[in-house]
A and B are shown apart, each in its own frame.
Chain A
């Protein structure tokens, strides 16, 4: 067995428009289930996953806000968000999901992971 990989999954697409993000979430959960260290980073329009108060039933979809709340239970290490993109989409401490950690997208950050993969 090789050493566990530190994986970062980046979701850079807005929620509800396509299935790719949900598939990425499934992938993150599955990696965590096999004791792989995995975190999720939201960037670009992807930060809109993290807005409080999503009423997805209005468009007959499941709420990604609620789905994301299950991440810690399934062993996902961290939910990260690119701070600059949060600012761009007016996500502040008031309307951002609590468990999210704001980060700067720097080589120091990405260097912490040896496998980075984008959703979709």
Chain B
């Protein structure tokens, strides 16, 4: 038995309830994507957690994810190449999944 009971997730791996999230949950979801979380990842994850607590919505699309990161952390981090390197695939989806946020509504 693992000491971590994974909270309920939907068929795409997103948490059913964003508040069931903790660091261990994030690490476990990241492992599914073959990702080991570094401080750079955590910076974005923490940003998304704060964003969600304030606005109760995931950035709805990849473009808006990049835009929101840019507003908060500057151009160096708020650009699609940087975020793509950290969160492969569709960065908004991958990052929100790991951060325990709902699926961005406009990402295919």
Direct contact of A and B (CB under 8 A): yes
What is the bound-complex CA distance between A66 and B57, given in angstroms?
8
- Give the residues in chain B near A56, CB-CB below 8 Å: 56
Instruction: Assess whether A70 is in contact with B106, with CB atoms less than 8 Å apart.
Output: no
User: Does B77 make an interface contact (CB < 8 A)?
Assistant: no
Instruction: Assess whether A33 is in contact with B63, with CB atoms less than 8 Å apart.
Output: yes
What is the bound-complex CA distance between A73 and B57, given in angstroms?
12
The 8 Å CB contact of A62, one of B57, B67, B68, B71, is B57
The 8 Å CB contact of B57, one of A30, A67, A75, is A67
How many chain A residues touch B (CB < 8 A): the figure is 15
The 8 Å CB contact of B61, one of A33, A63, A73, is A33
Instruction: Assess whether A26 is in contact with B105, with CB atoms less than 8 Å apart.
Output: yes
- Knowing A66-B56, A69-B54, the reply to whether A30 touches B68 (Cβ < 8 A) is no
User: Does B64 make an interface contact (CB < 8 A)?
Assistant: yes
- Knowing A66-B56, A69-B54, the reply to whether A75 touches B63 (Cβ < 8 A) is no
Most chain A Cβ neighbours within 10 Å, of B56, B59, B71:
B56
- Knowing A66-B55, A69-B55, A70-B55, the reply to whether A34 touches B63 (Cβ < 8 A) is yes
Chain B interfacial positions (CB closer than 8 Å to A) = 51, 54-57, 59-61, 63-64, 67-68, 71, 105-106
Could you list 22 A-B pairs, sorted by A, with CB under 8 Å? A26-B60, A26-B105, A26-B106, A29-B61, A29-B64, A30-B60, A30-B63, A30-B106, A33-B61, A33-B63, A62-B56, A62-B57, A63-B56, A67-B56, A69-B54, A70-B57, A70-B68, A73-B67, A73-B68, A73-B71, A74-B59, A74-B67
